[in-house]
Chain A
Amino acid sequence: VQCKRRYRLFISQCPPKNKIVYTFSDIISTVEFNCSGELLATGDKGGRVVIFQREQESKNRLLSRGEYNVYSTFQSHEPEFDYLKSLEIEEKINKIRWLPQQNAAHFLLSANDKTIKLWKISERDKRAEGYNLKDEDGRLRDQFRITTLRVPVLMPMDLMVEASPRRIFANAHTYHINSISVNSDYETYLSADDLRINLWHLEITDRSFNIVDIKPANMEELTEVITAAECHPHQCNVFVYSSSKGTIRLCDMRAAALCDRHSKFFEEPEDPSSRSFFSEIISSISDVKFSHSGRYMMTRDYLSVKVWDLNMENRPVETYQVHEYLRSKLCSLYENDCIFDKFECCWNGSDSAIMTGSYNNFFRMFDRNTRRDITLEASRENSKPRAMLKPRKVCTGGKRKKDEISVDSLDFNKKILHTAWHPKENVIAVAATNNLYIFQDKIN
């Protein structure tokens, strides 16, 4: 346990400046750009947060198009032991969400299964010198020696980035937290576990409001859980949550204190011809994300990504197949538990493209306008300098073409669950197990 927690980061920079790979000592469990895209936060299974900062582009180094370098690392959560339940609480970071920047410091929320913490990341590049009461090395001066009074002077020092926990929001979740989302009012945020959603005020840690509770009176009647939740990007009274049955509920907090009754209910009618025993499992939504415009939302289920218009509840407006070739393999994927993998999805800054991960370190991008899609691989092998990533293709049957890979050769241990897209530019971060890839994407 001790050496798991001692953090080792290996930095390896591949020759192409458009691709950077960071290798972590733990599996990466979440990736998130901040609102400006200047910072990229990652959380891992060991409870650590690593923040990368984009270099300022300088005229001298033309080739450096703003690389991301390590900015700060800190231990966010520690493993805990709940004595009442005799249960160990994992320190794995499930989600990180940035707060919009309001001053020189940066704030983010990080959550493990049970506790959310607000961290302040601040820079210190000056140090006060010339104290009256203490020496340069901090020792208290002998009072008799103080003969003059002076004003301390701020002197420059090496940049130091400090992370300090400012709030700890604990003891509000009986089940495992799967989502946190900062509200557009910048004062509140919500946290969701399997059965409940709580609303917090960023300043208040000793209580939260429960706004959704789907726990049945009798646990044996439980057939549906909450899988993800998010606040609307502009309307601070609106949020959505998705379920394991493939439904999304949009709630308005103005309607009632307890939002058990939804305002809108999104569900696509099932296709009876493709019904199987796995239909429900693959319909379970693993991620839900509002578009930046706030007009659409995107959901990820096991085989597809769907874009919904908030004004239309009965079906999505767009459906993208991520890896349809897996449909005939559902039984094996059920056996090895891969069918329960929770893939995330993300929008690009202009909402014109969406991205999500798959197996074999593949990730997929869909252009909503042209309806083109591409499959790329996050691997160290394609390392030609500044070359575009070669698109990959999976062949489903029949003859396999030269560069194609067959479904049966896919490595299901190499899964890309977490991806993030820069809010303004074509820069993407892809987490492949314990490797973080940052690509300067050339697709416009």
Chain B
Amino acid sequence: MFSKGTKRKFSDGGEEISDESLLGARVASSYSLQRQSLLDMSLIKLQLCHMLVEPNLCRSVLIANTVRQIQEEMTHDGSWHMVTEAFCSAGQSPSERLVATEVLCRSREQDAEPKLFSVISYEGCCEEEVVADETLCSVSVSDTVSNVCLAGRMGQCWEKSELSGIERDEEALEDSRLGSGEEEEIDTEDGASTESPKTIGQVFGTFEIKNGSPGPDSALEELFSDVDTSYYDLDTMLTGMQSAPKMGPYDLLDSLAPSHSSPSIVSTPNCRSDLNELDHIMEIIVGS
């Protein structure tokens, strides 16, 4: 299966030396293929998490940890380098990419309104740096110092370029959908960006899920449109909500809505839920 070191049986006799090396190469490529497909599967699962009404935190954490493990191993193998090259456009040096994403991070921070949203996106992109460093520190690389430094740079290179890759993809998607120059990075859950896998930090950062199709709820949204979202605790935001990011035009949300198949909570008959909610609140107040 996917456990390390599984070998398939090689029943053919043949010449020993060349067969062994051939076998080794075959096993290695099969293993890395399997590992890659596991990584893809995990990332898809994480993305799907964002579409659920109530993502299961335990499951998300376990999947994210699995992705992290694969990343660590691939970085250690040096195969991350190849993955990053696939994403990077030719001729761009690592330092240039670094700068590009720094700028993006900074502009997030300045977008203070709503504080909630910018916190996600800021941490979503810059936090990667921290994660990469930690994981690389814990990976047992070879003894020589130079190797460690190289690995460090590579990891960062991947993380940063990954980010810029995602930025570009998302901007392209937004442009095609909206035709408006929307600057903010919106962590979308659309399946179109699966080829640029999301980074770990964005998993929990993107627990603030977008609103479903407004429809009959548009009145409700207008009612809450002037609610100051910075009031909300980071907790409540991060537990996988479908809450409308209050910034940005509503038509942006409209266009995002069809991109994911989240079960529309709009379908819940609001009147009855209203009454239940009210009863519940009354019970608490009355202390019955």
Please report A residues at the B interface, Cβ cutoff 8 Å. Answer: 1, 78-81, 83-88, 90, 113, 168, 170-171, 174-176, 194-195, 205-206, 215, 218-220, 222-225, 227, 244, 274-278, 280-281, 284, 328-331, 334-335, 337, 340
Contact = CB atoms under 8 A, between A and B. Distances in A.
Nearest to B67: A277
12 contacts: A83-B277, A85-B237, A86-B265, A195-B57, A205-B284, A219-B238, A223-B61, A276-B4, A277-B2, A277-B3, A281-B62, A281-B66
Interface stretch (B101-109, B161-169, B190-198, B200-208): B200-208
Nearest to B217: A86
Contacts of A277: 2-3, 35, 38, 66, 69-70
A162 to B, nearest CB: 16
B204 A222 contact: yes
A171 B268 CA distance: 22
Interface stretch (B19-27, B76-84, B145-153, B239-247): B239-247
A81 B270 contact: yes
A213 to B, nearest CB: 11
A220 B200 contact: yes
Contacts of A81: 265, 268, 270, 273-274, 276-277
A88 B53 contact: yes
B72 to A, nearest CB: 11
A206 B62 contact: no
Contacts of B240: 87
Contacts of B53: 87-88
A81 B200 CA distance: 30
B143 interface: no
Contact of B269 (A1, A225, A337): A1
B56 A340 contact: yes
Interface stretch (B10-18, B85-93, B176-184, B228-236): B228-236
A284 B54 contact: no
Nearest to A342: B58
Contacts of B277: 80-81, 83
B7 interface: no
Contact of B66 (A83, A220, A280): A280
Nearest to B57: A194
B155 to A, nearest CB: 16
Given A81-B273, A85-B243, A87-B242, A330 B284 contact: no
Given A84-B236, A171-B284, A176-B57, A340 B62 contact: yes
Nearest to B242: A86
Nearest to B59: A340
B280 A170 contact: yes
A86 B66 contact: no
A88 B65 contact: no
A32 to B, nearest CB: 22
B283 interface: yes
Q: Which residue, B61, B234, B236, B268, has most C-beta atoms of chain A within 10 A?
A: B61
B127 A170 contact: no
Contact of A274 (B3, B38, B64, B124): B3
A79 B70 contact: no
A219 B234 contact: yes
Given A220-B205, A222-B204, A244 B232 contact: no
A182 B274 CA distance: 32
A174 B284 contact: no
Given A284-B58, A328-B1, A220 B123 contact: yes
A243 B35 CA distance: 26
B4 A86 contact: no
A223 B2 contact: no
A244 B58 contact: yes
A87 B284 contact: no
Given A175-B57, A219-B238, A340-B56, A330 B2 contact: yes
B287 interface: yes
B2 A86 contact: no
A337 B205 CA distance: 23
Contacts of A340: 56, 58-59, 62
Nearest to A340: B59
A176 B57 CA distance: 8
A337 B53 CA distance: 17
Contacts of B265: 81, 86-88
B33 interface: no
Contacts of A330: 1-2
Given A86-B242, A222-B204, A335-B41, A280 B62 contact: yes
Contacts of B201: 220
A198 to B, nearest CB: 14
A83 B232 CA distance: 12
Nearest to A81: B273
Given A80-B280, A218-B123, A219-B205, A87 B61 contact: no
Given A86-B211, A194-B57, A244-B61, A174 B235 contact: yes
Interface string B264-288: 0100111001101100100110011
Contacts of B284: 168, 170-171, 205-206
B131 interface: yes
B204 A284 contact: no
Contacts of B70: 277
A168 B283 contact: yes
A215 B57 CA distance: 12
A159 B207 CA distance: 50
* Cβ-closest 6 pairs across A and B: A276-B3, A220-B201, A81-B273, A85-B241, A219-B204, A194-B57
Given A86-B211, A194-B57, A330-B1, A280 B239 contact: no
Contacts of A83: 224, 277
Contacts of B59: 337, 340
A174 B239 contact: yes
Contacts of B41: 334-335
A176 B54 contact: yes
Nearest to B207: A219
B62 A331 contact: no
A83 B281 CA distance: 12
Interface string B39-75: 0010001000000011011110110111011100000
A85 B287 CA distance: 24
A224 B68 CA distance: 13
Contacts of B207: 219
Given A88-B268, A168-B284, A275 B3 contact: yes
A80 B276 contact: yes
Interface string B239-267: 11111100000000000000000000100
A147 B234 CA distance: 68
Nearest to A335: B41
B280 A280 contact: no
